[in-house]
Amino acid sequence: MPALNGEWAISEVQCRNLFQNIREGFFVGEIVRDDAGRPVDYVFLEVNDAFTRQTDLSADATVGRRVTEAIPGIGNDTIETYGRVVDSGQPASFEIEVSALGHRSYEARAHSLGCDRFAVLFLEITERKRVEKALAESRAMLSDIVGTVDQIVWSALPDGRHDFFNSRWYEFTGARAGSNEEATWASLRHPDDREQVSERWLRSLATGEPYEIEYRLLHHSGQYRWILGRAHPVRNAAGEIIRWMGTFTDIDAAKRAEAELRESEEQFRTMAEALPQLVWMADDQGRIYWYNRRWYEYTGAAPQEAEGWGWRKAVHPEHAARVAEGVQLSAETGEPWEDTFPLRGADGEYRWFLSRATPLHDARGRITRWFGASTDITEKQKLEEFQALLIREISHRVKNSLALVSALLDLQARSLEGGLRAALDDAASRVGAVARVHDQLFRQATTREIDLKPFLSNLAVAIATSAPEHETVIDVEPAIVPADIAVPIGLFVNELITNAYKYAYPEGDEGEVRITGERTDEEHYRLAVSDLGVGLPKGFDLARAYESLGMRIITTLAKQLGGELTADSTEPGARFALVFPVRPAPPLAA
């Protein structure tokens, strides 16, 4: 027996050493009951060091004291749990959060020791519970995101078996939730796409390469829709695939738009091939990537030679730099491009082409490409050159004829005296004026409209050569008028300037004669001739100034132009002004 008692003594020492050195908290408690025998509290009988570390409560603050005193606010459910362990003799395992200890969480195991006593082994799991809570919140947030995205989101096990689809899958396919998704996915693929999809998926599973493929999937409407399937492997720290995460994106609208675009482009190319012009398309930077057949037939160039900026080789060397600069400028500004230049044909000969290009924009207004065409205008150029030559010849002959008439009048005047000679001199001068006006019109003979600025400026310079002793000042603004009113305008200006030269200053004196022109509004133009001379005769009245042939010509031309003529003394000098309407030339008859 003594030996036996010694063995038990050693065991108790060992047990206490174990009790103090384990990392779990441990305490022994005794149930306190009310008069009805119900558990209402418990007393701490013994605690180990780990108890103090995990609760921040020392042995002195707990042993021999009730739990409601040591830990105020401890929940009744904890006391009741230990009471059931004591009363039933059955152990219990549970997790508990103790708000009175700063909301620490514990994992506890309680055992009955008999006589209302029990032992509890516990471990603080506050950090683990925080991580679990954060993970649960993260999963809930991820679930919300996955449930709200427009794409179908799915996951698969390393062997390729799908184990998750979000709600978009069931909405798209009409499949019943919880059905065999693997079999459903296989059956919903378009028959023509099944083999290709399976081969691509198996290759990704075997190699670990990301999965991507476009194919048709049966929609719940009964129609197949194009989808883009993608998946990437998820690996652990060792690099092993532990899951596949993937998406299905409905791209049916985009695929249909692509098909319509291809059909539209094919129709365009068919039409472009039938055109006699050289037709081409360029990217947003102006690099040409397509020509119609007519281009290759005309230039004799191979496709690889003409792509990009290769077309410049066909442009005449004297025009190539200018044309390329214009194309580049339009590509930068987005403005339509137009130019005329010669292109070399397969026979080595150059022909003139009018080339135009227009930008095409997407829905956001960005340039996506350029469409261009070049039209052979060589024959038109030759005709225009012939017309210009013919006009020059006619003009030359008319000018010579008028000069001859003027010379004959001048010659005849020399043999006469008095008023008759003066009349012939005036007639010769006016024939000369008609010749000058005709000459200025010829210089702009390529248009049906005339710009008054160069026309009047050049005419005034020509008239000024007849009176170099005077200073002729010209200040006129641009205005486009029909060519058929240029003649009366020119004769009107000629009459006023020559009158100023003759009558504004005393014989032998020099002075300024000023010609001004400006728009008064969008539809009217004011033309004035002024001087700094002796001014208008006393009592001068335009309405009664018919004795002078010059004034009759001036007033008649003013009426012909539909204008309002005024004459004023400016002290010194005089000013004649005409405000007349300016209108565009009428359109050519069809």
Concatenate the DSSP letters of all residues of 305-343 into one string.
Answer: HHTBTGGGGGB-HHHHHHHHHHHHHHHHH---EEEEEEE
Residue 515 near residue 462, CB atoms below 8 Å: no
Sequence-ordered strand ranges (E) for 346-454: 350-361, 367-376, 449-451
Residue 278, strand partner residues: 374
d(CA 533, CA 561): 28
β-strands 25-33, 117-124: how paired?
antiparallel
Tokens of residue 4, six digits: 């036996």
Scan for tokens 């679990």, then name that residue. Answer: 132
Tokens of residue 434, six digits: 């008609």
Residue 512, strand partner residues: 471
Tens of pLDDT along the chain (590 residues) come to: 344 444 444 466 666 676 777 888 999 999 999 999 999 999 999 999 899 998 999 999 999 999 999 998 888 888 999 999 999 999 999 998 888 888 889 999 999 999 999 999 999 988 888 888 877 776 666 666 666 667 888 888 999 988 888 888 888 888 877 665 667 778 889 999 999 999 999 999 999 999 999 999 999 999 999 999 999 999 999 999 999 998 999 998 888 888 887 777 777 777 767 677 888 888 888 888 888 888 888 998 887 887 778 888 899 999 999 999 999 999 899 999 999 999 999 999 999 999 999 998 888 889 988 988 888 888 877 776 666 555 555 555 555 655 655 565 566 556 666 666 656 556 656 556 566 666 665 555 555 788 889 888 888 888 888 888 999 999 999 998 887 888 888 888 888 998 888 889 988 889 999 999 999 998 999 999 999 999 888 888 877 766 677 788 888 888 989 999 999 988 899 999 999 998 765 554 44
Sequence-ordered strand ranges (E) for 169-257: 211-218, 224-235, 241-250
d(CA 527, CA 529): 7
Residue 52 near residue 77, CB atoms below 8 Å: no
pLDDT at 590: 41
pLDDT at 290: 83
Buried b (16+ CB within 10 A) or exposed e, 203-221: ebbeeeeebebebbbbbee
Scan for tokens 């039209």, then name that residue. Answer: 375
Helices marked H in 189-288: 194-207, 252-274
Residue 512 near residue 532, CB atoms below 8 Å: yes
pLDDT at 444: 59
- Residue 412 neighbours by CB under 8 Å, 6+ apart: 424
Buried b (16+ CB within 10 A) or exposed e, 399-420: beebeebbeebbeebeeeeeee
pLDDT at 207: 94
Residue 394, strand partner residues: none
